[in-house]
Amino acid sequence: KHKFWETQPVGQYKDVGNTSLPEGPIELPTPLDEVKQEPYNLPALYEWVTCDIDSEETCNEVYSLLTNNYVEDDENMFRFNYSKEFLRWALRPPGYFKSWHIGVRVKASKKLVAFITGVPAKIRVRDEVVSMAEINFLCVHKKLRSKRLAPVLIKEVTRRVHLENIWQAAYTAGVVLPTPITTCQYWHRSLNPKKLIDVGFSRLGARMTMSRTIKLYKLPDSTITPGFRKMELRDVPAVTRLLRSYLAQFAVAPDFDENDVEHWLLPEENVVDSFLVESPKTHEVTDFCSFYTLPSSILGNQNYTMLKAAYSYYNVSTQTPLLQLMNDALIVAKQNDYDVFNALDVMHNESFLKALKFGPGDGQLHYYLYNYRIKNALKPSELGLVLL
Ligand code: MYA
Ligand code: JJ1
């Protein structure tokens, strides 16, 4: 059934529930000189390129490939529209490898028709911190689908990751593959219900009018928590300590150092936003919340072209109840003109979703590890990892 995935070192369906298989790497690393030195073969009309995402021209080409061909919802009404600034941020974390930003071009025209990326990350799985690649932005142009190009892209990124002596990876997908470590549900909190309904993102509930719906989702004009403010560069050490101690409780979570926190969590306009609570008394950083900006193109609507969505990222509460912290996150998202605030049921998110009027979406997100076996699937609440 999965002609490609059956050949890969991933948890296989036949092994689900086999408790005699140990947790950890499925295959051992091979000596680096035994890693294939040449790229995999592509169909004759195409060629491999390493994408220089610093180049304005290349970044524009990647942006338009993804804008026109990346992930859509199941009814093809919306398509993710990652911004160029976002792509640069997502692809250049501390220690990134340019060789992991891989494109496929048509030889004759040089048109970019496929893409896949990796970035390095330290991911803790239970008690082990593992060097991994986070794989994202796998995309094949709509006109080249179902030609088995995706397995070639995956094998090529795997080869280039191996050349850096890294043997594990983490990735997410909307499709079911062998085999998820967990399956998460998307939840959505309307901030601009009228627009969401107009574009078909949500529907008027039973026995609801537009004006009752608008009232239901109303939020205060300003945040409630004393000491709630935007994160700044000087907060990196305190936020790193807070986040590290919080993430320690999850079975799978990133192992962030200060450089990672500066990159992944320091606010960058229209890319990532982070807020914290600084105790007015002790000036300690006690709580933290963050979200990233990922708009979606609205396909074929007369009145609107773009949906502005915030995605919950990492949140930590020690003094402020998580419910109140996330309500403040909703308030700042509303102030900044987001239409919807999205979250997965990971970490402690279940504790605020229903109370803050999030509703379940029609999408799920499956999480996977490459070459690392987990004995039993996790609950979403045991997962401390958010991929972009
Ligand atoms: S997830 C986002 C994926 N992108 C999209 O959904 C965008 C829109 N769709 C497309 O561009 C294409 O449909 C794609 C497939 C490119 C997805 N992950 O070429 P094909 C398997 C993994 O004929 P196409 C993200 O970016 C499929 O099961 N495998 O199909 C994370 C089948 O294999 P098998 C997938 O539709 C990516 C084979 O591909 C996915 O033309 C993580 C068919 O190939 C998917 N999302 O192209 C990648 N979709 O027969 C894995 C389909 O066995 C990383 N397939 O079922 C693994 C770790 C690598 C590094 C390891 C380092 C150590
Ligand atoms: O956004 C998603 N669904 C929306 C829109 C559905 C449009 C019709 N299919 C949705 N809306 C309901 C909102 C409503 C608001 C009031 C309260 C009740 C709920 O459900 C879904 C997620 O739910 N998104 C997708 O399907 C996009 C793809 C998701 C898989 C992502 C793959 C990730 C790539 C890996 O890097």
Domain of residue 15, CATH code = 3.40.630.30
Ligand 1 binding pocket includes 104 (Cβ within 6 Å): no
Report the alpha-carbon distance of residue 213 to residue 157 in Å, rounded: 47
pLDDT for position 333: 99
Q: Which of 116, 150, 174 is the last residue of a domain?
A: 174
- Answer yes or no: do 168 and 210 share one domain: no
Ligand 1 binding pocket includes 145 (Cβ within 6 Å): yes
- Answer yes or no: do 309 and 369 share one domain: yes
Pocket test of ligand 2: the residue of 190, 353, 362 to mutate, having most ligand atoms within 8 Å of its CB, is 362
CA of 61 to the centre of ligand 1 (A): 20
CA of 315 to the centre of ligand 1 (A): 30
- Answer yes or no: do 189 and 258 share one domain: yes
The answer to whether residue 388 sits within a structural domain is no
Pocket test of ligand 1: the residue of 138, 163, 294, 297 to mutate, having most ligand atoms within 8 Å of its CB, is 138
CA of 303 to the centre of ligand 1 (A): 33
CA of 370 to the centre of ligand 1 (A): 13
- Answer yes or no: do 160 and 263 share one domain: no
> Which residues in the chain come in under a pLDDT of 50?
none
Report the alpha-carbon distance of residue 200 to residue 298 in Å, rounded: 9
Instruction: Tell how strand 340-344 and strand 309-312 pair up.
Output: parallel
pLDDT for position 300: 92
- Answer yes or no: do 117 and 255 share one domain: no
Ligand 1 binding pocket includes 194 (Cβ within 6 Å): no
pLDDT for position 11: 98
- Answer yes or no: do 188 and 169 share one domain: no
Q: Which residues pair with 47 in a beta bridge?
A: 105
- Answer yes or no: do 34 and 57 share one domain: yes
The answer to whether residue 98 sits within a structural domain is yes
- Answer yes or no: do 89 and 211 share one domain: no
Of ligand 2's listed atoms, the one at least distance from the Cα of 71 is: 28
Of ligand 2's listed atoms, the one at least distance from the Cα of 136 is: 36
The answer to whether residue 121 sits within a structural domain is yes
Ligand number with the minimum distance to the CA of 156: 1
The answer to whether residue 387 sits within a structural domain is no
Ligand number with the minimum distance to the CA of 366: 2
Q: Are 384 and 347 in contact (CB under 8 A)?
A: yes
- The helix-helix angle for 56-69 and 84-91 (nearest 10°) equals 110
- Answer yes or no: do 163 and 216 share one domain: no
Ligand number with the minimum distance to the CA of 148: 1
CATH number at residue 349: 3.40.630.170
- Answer yes or no: do 160 and 196 share one domain: no
Which residues of the chain form beta strands (DSSP E)? Answer: 46-50, 78-80, 101-106, 112-125, 128-140, 168-173, 182-190, 228-230, 252-254, 272-278, 285-293, 296-298, 306-307, 309-312, 316-317, 340-344, 359-370
Greatest Cα pair distance, the chain, in angstroms, is 67
- Answer yes or no: do 38 and 149 share one domain: yes
Range of the domain at 59: 5-174
Active site residues: 388
Report the alpha-carbon distance of residue 20 to residue 12 in Å, rounded: 14
The answer to whether residue 346 sits within a structural domain is yes
- The residue whose CA is least distant from atom 8 of ligand 2 is 75
Coil/strand/helix, residue 339:
coil
Of ligand 1's listed atoms, the one at least distance from the Cα of 161 is: 62
Q: Are 92 and 117 in contact (CB under 8 A)?
A: no
Let me know the angle formed at the C-alpha of 254 by 139 and 339, rounded to the nearest 5 degrees. 60
CA of 136 to the centre of ligand 1 (A): 10
Ligand number with the minimum distance to the CA of 135: 1
- The residue whose CA is least distant from atom 43 of ligand 1 is 148
CB under 6 Å to ligand 2: residues?
Answer: 71, 73-75, 77, 136, 172-174, 186, 188, 190, 201-202, 359, 361-363, 365, 387
The answer to whether residue 59 sits within a structural domain is yes
248 Cβ contact list (under 8 Å, min separation 6): none
- Answer yes or no: do 301 and 346 share one domain: yes
Instruction: Tell how strand 272-278 and strand 228-230 pair up.
Output: antiparallel
Q: Which of 151, 174, 197 is the last residue of a domain?
A: 174
Of ligand 1's listed atoms, the one at least distance from the Cα of 150 is: 19
Q: Which of 148, 174, 200 is the last residue of a domain?
A: 174
**Number of structural domains found in the chain:** 2
The interface predicted TM-score (ipTM) is: 0.99
Q: How far is CA 263 from CA 57, 94, 116, 233, in A?
A: 24, 7, 21, 10
